[in-house]
Amino acid sequence: MPRTPDRSASRRFRQQVYATLAKRHRIFGPLRFHAPLRSVDPDSVGLPASAAPTATGAAGSVPVRPAGTARAALAGAAGDVLRDDDAGLVHSAGHGGISEKSAAKAPSTAGQRRPALVTLARAPFAVRALNRMTYGATEADVAAFNALGANDTARLTAWVDRQLNPAGIDDSALDTRLANAGYSTLNKSLTQLWADHVLPDPPFATRMRPATEVQRGALARAVHSRRQLQEVMVGFWHNHFNVTASDFSAGPVFMHYHRDVIRANALGNFRTMLEAVAQSTAMLYYLDNASNTRSGPNENFARELLELHTFGAENYLGFVDPFQVPPAPEDPSYPIGYTDVDVYETASAFTGWSVRDGHWQYPTEDDGTFVYRQAWHDAGPKFVLGRFLNPEQPAMKDGRDILDRLASHPRVAKFICRKLIRRFVSDTPGQDLVDSAAAVFRNNWQQPDQIARTLRHILLSDAFRHSWGTKVRRPFELAAAALRGLGSDWTPRIDGKTDEFFWLFDATGHTPYAWPAPNGYPDTALAWSGSNSYAMTWRLLTWLSETQDNSMPLTPILAASRSGVSSWTANNLVDFWCRRLLGYLPAASRRATLTQFLAQNGDPASYVITDTNSWAASDPKRHYNQERLRSTVALILMSPEFMSL
């Protein structure tokens, strides 16, 4: 029979843990814990409306959590006091503010009405599937997809399996394109980046060139790469492990973060990626762990590791007694969520994870690489996520033990899978798919292709196959899809017209890797449905349809119309571009709006528009015909049919 736990031994252990916490954070007197922020709901995906104080963010609300240092929170005396007679512990129901790094969020969507729904014709399956898995389906993509099997399921399976093996897809043409466009930092090692862009203290543009090349290369890759699913996943993980490219310290080494941390692990193993992120120079600077020492602890990285990278705010319990946290119903050997004590203990576990950057204590070590400094590490015992970590463990084992615990946690699996489903299927992920995907994710947490297996499960699910119109393209995705659909051969460069493009692009609010807070860009339609976002994106799409670079159109609308349409009636031209960009014809009333605009006072079915671009204000059907054709194509790009996924 199981032995009855020794109540006195359990109490002594708890008191030892409390004493360790008090000593580490120099607390005198009783520890004061808060009441839990919410009731624990195993299937909860967010916060109940009245559960806790909140701060409004990009995609909703986030819990307000204790501000300042661990010492301030541990010693907080505000609020009603509850006594735990078993352990002689004092709990407090008070609460504090928001941590510094997470204070910056997207513009508020509080009180914003959801957009009215428009009923759209259902696109062919190949178009629907490819638009979600790529940066935009092209005519050639659709034809290749439809040749992969005898039915939609077979074709989807074959396409997904091929894309999940990017090494088997020749993308050398993209590499050549980038090299010819003047990208010079793509293959620089971390030490080369440091030597060229940090040590000489170069001008700002030189210092930040690696970040600039990653940002502009993101558009080139989205438009021209044949490894489309990998590119979408690179964008997903950049957003998940967000580092702002323009950060002064991270920018010079951003190419290393992009290439060796995010891209290298985009379809690999989440646990491997977690450690690569934790050791990356860019993240060490961005979330301040480079300066996290036992004498000067900094909790920024630890908090975001738990709140943004693994558990999600939905599993944040507040500053509560770690011994009062219920077990996770999916696996009782894990706690149901994380507390502020877990944050503070995690911060202690990662003390000493730093950068060789010429620190005054180590002036000869200055090459920008990761270093573990034992002298800076808090080697004391720790109690994290329901587990006791022994003191004086081998180098880096404290941090690695926590990463293992996180990577295998059932609630972490659900959080990651919910985000993946939100990216590929719907803004409101179904719980059944979340649960089944999380099972795949967790069962394979030690496999090198864990992410690929999980993604395959999601993309071959019924929910993916049958979803349509449940997401919208964000500005970056719209721009990339427009360039792909229009057959653009333009390559974004480091100067020239690309400067003008990114100046316009900044106004949309979705420049690659430019989100200023650690939580990354929001991925819901509501967050991007404001009038400014639409207006600035439409301005950009119009610019793409009209602009030339070195006398070459960025988008060959006229050339494609000449080769694809023999008789330039409004009906023929509109049908050609709708089929090319949308994959189908919109509803008759919506199609008529386009044909009437293009035809003006001519008959849409019979009047042949001339291939001219001259003034004829008294006869609109002859007035600037080429510009009107380009504007018509831009209108299709701005349509709900093109913007919807």
Between 24 and 457, the more confident residue is 457
For residue 178, which of 258, 237, 121 has the smallest C-alpha distance?
258
pLDDT value for 110 = 54
259: which DSSP letter? Answer: I
Strands 382-384, 387-389: pairing kind: antiparallel
What are the C-alpha distances in Å from 269 to residues 130, 342, 453, 466? 25, 24, 10, 28
Name the nearest CA neighbour of 489 among 555, 394, 416.
555
Q: Residue range 47-52: average pLDDT?
A: 34
DSSP conformation letters of 206-244: HHTHHHHHHHHHHHHHHHH-S-HHHHHHHHHHHHHT---
> Distance between CA atoms of 284 and 370, rounded to whole angstroms?
9
Dig out the tokens for 81 from the structure: 């006091």
Best CA proximity match to 267, nearest among 339, 372, 160: 160
96-120 burial, b at 16+ Cβ within 10 Å, e below that, comes to: bebbebbeebbeebeeeeeeeeeeb
What's residue 9's pLDDT? 58
* pLDDT tens, residue by residue, 298-349: 999 999 999 999 999 999 999 889 888 999 999 999 999 999 999 999 999 9
Q: How confident is the model at residue 148 (pLDDT cuts 50, 70, 90)?
A: very high
Select the more confidently predicted residue: 7 or 257: 257
Comparing 76-85, 333-342, 622-631, which segment has the lowest mean pLDDT?
76-85
d(Cα 354, Cα 291) in Å, to the nearest integer? 7
d(CA 389, CA 382): 5
Of residues 58 and 319, the one with the higher pLDDT is: 319
Res. 44: pLDDT tops 90: no
Q: Let me know if 631 is exposed, middle or buried by CB neighbors in 10 A (0-12, 13-18, 19+).
A: middle
Give the pLDDT confidence score for residue 53 in this predicted structure. 32
Burial of 360 (0-12, 13-18, 19+ CB in 10 A): exposed
Mean pLDDT of 493-508: 93
Distance CA 34, CA 303 (A): 18
pLDDT of residue 13: 75
Q: Within a 13 Å sphere around the CA of 596, how many CA atoms are in the beta-carbon half? A: 6
Average pLDDT over all residues of the chain: 87
- Nearest one of 283, 284, 348, 303 to 102, comparing CA atoms: 303
pLDDT tens sequence across 246-263: 999 999 999 999 999 999
428-454 burial, b at 16+ Cβ within 10 Å, e below that, comes to ebbeebbebbbbbbbebbeeeebbbbb
